[in-house]
Structure 1
């Protein structure tokens, strides 16, 4: 076997790892250097899953840094902030103060419980992030899959932040990866469990709230994604443009659903440029 083949085999193996394994490998790859988790399990609500971690570049500095709040995926029924430490470190490595919150999951809650938790996490950020070197006037959101759905609703439907006592304009921009934004009718077990009991299904769909004054959104999708098909990102981008907004639609040829988020992990960044691309977008719109 030649070196190139061995490297390809190793990357393929890593690509099949779960997020917790990727976080472990990502941490090991840094060998103690780079950005650090500066706060762990900080409560933003009363429940055991209403906790968040904060990551920041090492060295601090006098100037406050832009902030990104990253919402992980898991079909609204799985996931943990610890498993996505690699995402927090990734964005902190790009110069952001990064926040990774847990949120309540199905079956503990149904829609809109997890969106309300996202709004509460943003309220905490607005009120507290300055003590960790973040700029509360430069807050952005990011997310993958179900986390992109949550981030999209927080960016587009102002009611959730208003109900949490936060000005909806707190969200300066969003970098959303492989998100479901237009998935009516509910036709699988996960969407039925999360949204099937809501009496007005259109209210669960980010596309419903496309508007001219929406914050800038970067909508990324893999062309071979069969879990959340590219049409979700295409439809939301088209609706936003029809409303007069200017979203950025990014296709990653030959990439599937998980590829976009595992590209944030240090061992696999060569597979897909989601970190560099999303960080550049958020940085541009949080100046």
Structure 2
């Protein structure tokens, strides 16, 4: 049998992966196959809530010591995916010196909003309590997410009620990183999402933008204008709202990146496509070194937002957001299958 030239295989692999990601045909598990498998350690299926059967995976540099800690929540329309599909994210962040935790949270239709955010808060508590075991510094704790996972991360950073329920506060967080996130997506029209976030009079509580008060930890919001799943207006609107309230927020907006590619660019073979990982690293390292009292003004990169309604506007105090009501029992409903690139 004719042997394949390894140089050709090495050249074709990133092109094949790029095609799969751009076409929306790939699951994260496919991207995992192209991720580097050296340079980091892992501990998988660690329980953070035994009663609910919830666990997480940890990826960390072999010689980590007092390293920043990132808790990453994956996307999947609040209904799909598993932490095992995002090994490439753990590898990417560990390769830059960060202890990375990727939890599973409960999903719809087993639970409705806000139960999966409450799960995320418990995972954050576990990260804070156990980060030092893996060389992490609990005082350098960041929350990060993609798509619907960024929605969860943003709620933890903007609505302190979730962390209060687990004995904490937003003071736990050094920063939040959102990739192509769902922050301002009303009106909610899809039948499954109306059930997930319902009843109608509670829809506003599902929107991270609703909780902006200017007292958030620093935010880094990354999005692509070529996003076919979640409009870039989610990031633009949240950034403007936080800036007006006097909170620290930065944005990186790419003209050509799709919804899948914003997260796919973290994979080792695709990092040349966009500097998403570089921007995350710079933000985490810089913020980790800053005193907690340091505050930053809006800093826009890549394609600038229109700031006519930001510059020169004095920040006004906003009313204290109401706590999110506890969810009520729900009878599960059948879902229409959703595409792999759903939020």
- TM-score (ref. length: structure 1): 0.91
- Give the equivalent residue in structure 2 for 1:10: 16
The within-5 A match list for 1:94-173 is: 94-173=96-175
203-212 vs 103-112, which moves further: 203-212
44-53 vs 108-117, which moves further: 44-53
Q: How far apart are 1:92 and its partner, in Å? A: 0.7
Provide, for residues 54-87 of structure 1, a one-character-per-residue CA deviation record: whole Å limited to 9, x for no partner. Answer: 1111234xx3111000000000000111000111
- Give the equivalent residue in structure 2 for 1:36: 41
CA 1:112–1:238: 2 relative to 1, 3 Å: same
1:23 aligns to 2:67 (yes or no): no
Contact 2:40 2:94 in 1 (8 A): yes
The within-5 A match list for 1:221-232 is: 221-232=223-234
Determine helix, strand or coil for the equivalent of 2:188. coil
Q: How far apart are 1:136 and its partner, in Å? A: 0.7
Contact 1:14 1:268 in 2 (8 A): no
Contact 1:76 1:190 in 2 (8 A): no
Contact 1:54 1:97 in 2 (8 A): yes
Alignment RMSD (CA, Å): 1.8
Q: If each structure's helix is expressed as a fraction of its own residues, which one has the higher value?
A: 1
Q: How far apart are 1:228 and its partner, in Å? A: 0.5
The within-5 A match list for 1:54-69 is: 54-60=58-64, 63-69=65-71
- TM-score (ref. length: structure 2): 0.77
Mapped partners of 2:52, 2:215: distance in 1: 35
Q: How far apart are 1:189 and its partner, in Å? A: 3.7
Runs of at least 5 residues in structure 1 that lack an aligned partner in the other structure = none
**Higher radius of gyration, 1 or 2:** 2
Mapped partners of 1:73, 1:224: distance in 2: 18
Aligned residues: 277
CA 1:261–1:8: 2 relative to 1, 3 Å: closer
Q: How far apart are 1:213 and its partner, in Å? A: 1.7
Provide, for residues 239-280 of structure 1, a one-character-per-residue CA deviation record: whole Å limited to 9, x for no partner. Answer: 001101231121111111111011111121112221111121
The within-5 A match list for 1:57-96 is: 57-60=61-64, 63-96=65-98
Contact 1:211 1:245 in 2 (8 A): yes
- Give the equivalent residue in structure 2 for 1:266: 268
Q: How far apart are 1:7 and its partner, in Å? A: 7.5
Q: How far apart are 1:201 and its partner, in Å? A: 1.6
